Chains A and B, each alone.
Chain A
Amino acid sequence: MMQMTAVDAVMRTLADPTRRAVFERIVKSEEITVAELTRGSGVTQSAISQHLRSLKAAGLIADRPEGRNVHYRADPKGLAPLVDWMALYGVFWRGRFSNLRTLLKEIDP
């Protein structure tokens, strides 16, 4: 089997809608505990914990234990492999250079 790269891990981890929802809630909070994440989620605490382990393994979140609680926060570097993967295709710049081509034709037909 091929070795998992960082982008594989990020994509695989975020492909699960529940896990992605957990990640989105963590991103929106400065820091959040597993109990707070479970509340109102409709998912058991053990399921949330499982998702947190996956998110942490993929480098998407970091944790900070404090007494009996563990606080989770998003790791800003976590999404970098995904952003870099998308940027590889240079879509943004190709689009802009297409605009530039049009503009040049307009001012210098």
Chain B
Amino acid sequence: MTDAAMILDTQDIVVEEVFPHAPETIWKTLTTGDLIGRWLMKPTEFEPVKGRHFTFQTTPAGMWDGVIHCQVLEATPNERFAFAWKGGHEGKRRLRLTAGHCRHVHPFQG
């Protein structure tokens, strides 16, 4: 592996947003299929249960069918919600959303 690839392996994208709403309200928008569809994309087979696999269908590009494969990693009501996000040929991203304080960590694996 090259040095550049190793650096990319450990790179996180952190997007921090504070939403002035009750954790219960934020939780609802993060964990209700229809509401997720209104700010992110409409998920398929989604349930806010740890271990649950679900997908997002995006536009196919080249050899990629456009399907983003996700899995719920953490689901603590009104506190923390995290899911893994994998699309394209390579890479694994993790999305971590904390209710009341929404933090998005996007690590790359080359």
Contacts and interface: CB of A to CB of B under 8 A. Distances in A.
Interface stretch (A13-21, A32-40, A49-57, A90-98): A90-98
B90 A77 contact: yes
B15 A76 contact: no
A39 B17 CA distance: 53
Interface residues of A, number: 23
A5 B34 CA distance: 42
Contacts of A90: 13, 15, 104, 106
Given A6-B4, A77-B90, A99-B40, A87 B19 contact: no
Given A84-B8, A108-B21, A76 B63 contact: yes
Interface residues of B, number: 29
B8 A80 contact: yes
Interface in B19-71: 19, 21-22, 25-26, 28-29, 35, 38-40, 62-63
Interface of A: 5-6, 27, 76-77, 80-81, 84, 87-88, 90, 93-94, 96-97, 99-104, 107-108
14 contacts: A6-B5, A77-B89, A87-B106, A88-B11, A90-B104, A94-B15, A97-B15, A100-B17, A100-B102, A101-B17, A103-B29, A104-B19, A107-B25, A108-B25
Interface of B: 2, 4-5, 8, 11, 13, 15, 17, 19, 21-22, 25-26, 28-29, 35, 38-40, 62-63, 89-91, 102, 104, 106, 108, 110
